[in-house]
Each structure stands twice: as C-alpha cells, then as structure tokens.
Amino acid sequence: MSLPQIDYVPGETAIQLQEAVRSRVAAGALGNTVLSRPEWQLPGPLRAALGTTVALPCPSRGYRMVRGLFGSLDAVGPTPAHWSQDAPRETAEFDVTLALVAETLGAVFGWADQQDGRLVHNILPSKGCEDMQIGASSVVPLAWHTEDGFHPERADFLLLACVRNPDGVGSRLASIRDVALDPADLARLREPSVTIEPDDSYGDHGAPRMPSHGMATVWDGPDGLCVRYDPSYTRFLTEEKEVIRSLERLGDAFEECGAVISMSPGDLLVIDNDVMVHGRVSFRPRYDGTDRWLKRVLVRAPRSRPESEAHEHGFGQERVFSSAAVRGAGTGARTGGSAHPAG
C-alpha cells in the first residue's frame, strides 16, 4: 500500500467549523449530545464546504487522512487511565468537531454495551488490558480486523481522530483489494464457514449460547471485493483444513500489502470498514497521562452486503443513535439493532 495521501482542510472552512463548534460547546454541547439537537447540526453551506475535503474515501483507496479540522488541543487534559475516566468538558471541542464531521458522512452510532453507549469512544491503553485484542491493549500488536465484524449492522466507515501520540505509535491498514490470493482461497473465503463473535470490549453477552451464523469472509460488492475478518474472535464452522489455511493465507496477504500510518494530533482517519482491515503495532504504555489517545466514531452509510447477513442476530448487541441521528438516518437500520437516544 502506498504512503498516505493527506487531504488538508482549507483554512477558511476550518475557521468556520471551529467557530460553529465553539458556539455549540458554549451552549452546552458535548461529543455525545451534539447530534441530539437539530439546531446544533452544521449549516448547509459549511457541510458543502467540508464535503470537498471530508468526503467518504473511494473504495479503490479505502481510507482518507484529513488534517486541519481540529482547533487547539491546549485545553485537553491528560490521557485518562481508562475510557470511562475522561473529562467530556475538557475534550468537548475535539469531540463535538468529530461528531459533527462524522454526521456529514452518515448516521453516527454506538453500541449499548460498549463504552456505556457513547457515540465518541476513547481509545487508549489501560492497565490489565495490555495483551488483549481490544483497543485498550498495548504490548501486543492489535491484529488485523474489521471493526465489529460480529454484527450485520457494523459500521460502514470508521473514524479515528488523534488527540495525542507522542511516541508515533502506528496504526495499520490493509485493503482486501490489494491482496494477492489464489482464486481457490478466495472461493473458500466466499463460503459462510466461520462465525465472528463479539470482542472482549463487550464483555460476556451470551455469545456461546446463541446459534452460530455462518459468515462469509469475502464477498463481491458492487465495486469490488469486500471483507469481514477478525481472526482473534473467529470460530470455524467446518473442520476442512483448507478453509482454515485459506483464512491464514489471507492474514499473510494482509501482512504483505499492509502499511503503517502514524497519526499526529488533530489527524482524522476515515476507514472503509468493508474494504480495509486495520490494526495497531505494539507499544510500551506510559501510564503517566501522556499515552497515545485516539477518539473513535462509527458511521453507518449502508451499502450492499451479503443477503445472508440480514438474518443474523448480531449476538443481541444493540446500536445506539442520537435522537437527531435517528431522524436523519432514514433507512439506515436494516435489521434488528434497536435505536435508543444517547443524549
């Protein structure tokens, strides 16, 4: 994969956005509430101006790096020790900017059982999670994965915004469109022979007690190959050795074609969750308030996925929308996934 192409937000647009953010924060908006009031959403001309830079990535590229959206980060306090220990007032301008920009791309949502149903997630290292396969890990690489691959209503686009990253800890990206795999491997991966269960950030919600849906690892979208992959939480529904080897070879192929991107404070990464898998290199956590700190927002902008996904139970995990996002989502929800106000 080639080095990241960075899109810079024009200065005048950034100034207008930051003024709009400051006025909403002054009126009491936080990242998790700003989408609950229609009057807090961005005006049409500013949305149009933003759209020239913060558009969805084209599938052939699969991601977009945007710089210049966020204002000063001086008021942001130390990196919390745990996602739940943040100070929403201190990061309000950053969080509100991220939520408002994400809303221009689709319906912003969270999960009822992940990070207390927040719409803006904290991604930072936490004690006790160092060697887990979740965003709070550190000393082990975070393996290639599709975000929330266990669920049929998973995000179409994943937004990561960098608050701080003093050690330049790298995020990893790889596109299914770049893998060199034997047609026989791809044919096996098109079969619904695995099931992906919720990751450990969701805790125990009875996944083993629910019937297993067969999930295809790759499928043909309208514009090319798409992927659903999370080997850390995958169970095989077959004992065919070649199927297992094909999934392993897919992992090897991601290693060969993937790239490492180091995000700097204020950078926004928009990732196509159907085309790209992502991960993170390992790092030694500091636990002194200066650790790498990203914010994450999930966006639904539905496109074609395998018909069989419409019958999946999603392990009972329910999505959470802001009330305004629900009104604006139109046909966003395709299956299950009750919508609850988050604000």
CA distances for 97 relative to 120, 191, 224, 326, angstroms? 11, 41, 32, 19
- CA 20-273-161 angle, to 5 degrees, is 35
Closer residue to Fe ion in complex, CB, 296/305: 296
Applying CB under 5 A, the span of 40-48, 122-130, 140-148, 254-262 interacting with Fe ion comes to: 140-148
Task: Give the residue with the Cβ less far from Fe ion, 147 or 274.
Answer: 147
Q: Residues 6 or more apart from 23 whose CB is under 8 A from it? A: none
Q: With contact defined as beta carbons under 8 Å apart, do 173 and 263 qualify?
A: no
Smallest gap from Cβ 147 to Fe ion, in A, equals 5
Q: Tokens 């966003």 label which residue?
A: 332
Q: How far is the CB of 145 from Fe ion (least distance, A)?
A: 6
- CB of residue 89 to Fe ion, shortest distance in Å: 27
Q: Of 87-126, which residues contact Fe ion (CB under 5 A)?
A: none
Comparison of 50 and 226: residue with beta carbon closer to Fe ion: 226
148 lies in the binding site for Fe ion (CB under 5 A): no
- The DSSP string of 98-123 is HHHHHHTTSEEEEETTSGGG-SSEEE
Of 55-63, 102-110, 143-151, 215-223, the segment contacting Fe ion by CB under 5 A is 143-151
CA distances from 210 to 11, 174, 207, 223 (A): 51, 31, 5, 33
For 154-218, give the DSSP string: --SEEEEEEEE-TT-PEEEEEEGGG----HHHHHHHTS--EEE---GGG---SGGGSPPPPB-SE
204-243: contacts with Fe ion (CB under 5 A): none
CB of 278 to Fe ion, least distance (A): 6
Distance between CA atoms of 15 and 12, rounded to whole angstroms?
A: 5
Residue closer to Fe ion (CB basis): 147 or 153 = 147
Residues contacting Fe ion: total by CB under 5 A: 1
Token pair 């999670």: residue: 129
Of 38-46, 100-108, 111-119, 142-150, the segment contacting Fe ion by CB under 5 A is 142-150
Per CB under 5 A, does 147 bind Fe ion? Answer: yes
The stretch near Fe ion (CB under 5 A) out of 11-19, 26-34, 40-48, 146-154 is: 146-154
Among residues 92 and 276, whose Cβ is nearest to Fe ion? 276
DSSP assigned state of 61: T
Shortest Å, Cβ 238 to Fe ion: 26
Say how many Å lie between the first and final Cα of the chain, rounded: 39
Point out the residue whose Cβ comes nearest to Fe ion.
Answer: 147
Residue whose pair of structure tokens reads 């209503």 in the numeric block: 153
CB of 107 to Fe ion, least distance (A): 19
CB of 108 to Fe ion, least distance (A): 16
Which residues of this protein are in contact with Fe ion, per CB under 5 A?
147
